[in-house]
Amino acid sequence: MVYAGACAAWPLAAPAAEVAGVKFDERITVAGVNLGLNGAGIRHKAVFKVYAAGLYLSRKADTPEGVLSAPGPKRLSITMLRDIDSGELGKLFARGMEDNMDRSIFSRLIPGVMRMSDLFSRHKQLRTGETFQVDWVPGAGTVITVKGQVEGEPFKEPEFFNALMLIWLGPRPADWQLKEALLGQAPTLRPR
């Protein structure tokens, strides 16, 4: 393993991940910065596989705090494993943000949450195999790309990106096994 200062960097060679038939590259570039795949997994809802997600960072992180404090750009890439109503997905994301953060902080983010919900509802449906990305780009903000198209202006507040990440990495994540997978940890049995 190569070390950059006291921070663990990415190994020189790491395998790409394949999750439920979705391939996640070992490395990608966001805003000119090389990012490595921190972890990838599946979001389950009851017995259904909803989507595959991969988290990319500039350095390995195995805790939510490590992800949120990681320097530079970040990306969460999601590929749908089943058709889903996009408006419903936007509402679930809003609820996931609210469930994982202090009410006073969430209330300050409501304009952005409403804008994000509207953004997803304009797509009507995300079909199996379609993708969206949530990028943090320092100096620009949170950039959401749906089906290859950047959606509107970036969300400027750093708190907005962190609030989105708490949907998957917070104390009440959407899926415990997905949380552990994104953090590069071996899955354990957790309450759903």
Q: State residue 12's pLDDT score.
A: 45
Q: State residue 120's pLDDT score.
A: 80
Question: Cα–Cα distance between 113 and 87 in angstroms, integer?
Answer: 12
Q: State residue 118's pLDDT score.
A: 83
Give the three-state DSSP class for 102. coil
Q: Which fold has domain 16-182?
A: Chalcone isomerase (3.50.70)
- The strand pairing partners of 76, in sequence order, are 55, 134
- Give me the residue spans of the domains in the chain: 16-182
Count of CB atoms situated within 10 Å of the CB of 147: 11
Element (H, E) at 105: helix 103-121
Query: What pTM was computed for the model?
Result: 0.86
pLDDT in tens, the chain (192 residues): 222 333 445 454 455 788 999 999 999 999 999 999 999 999 998 889 999 999 999 999 999 999 999 999 999 999 999 999 887 887 888 888 889 988 888 888 888 888 888 888 788 889 999 999 999 999 999 999 999 999 989 998 878 999 999 999 999 999 999 999 999 986 544 444
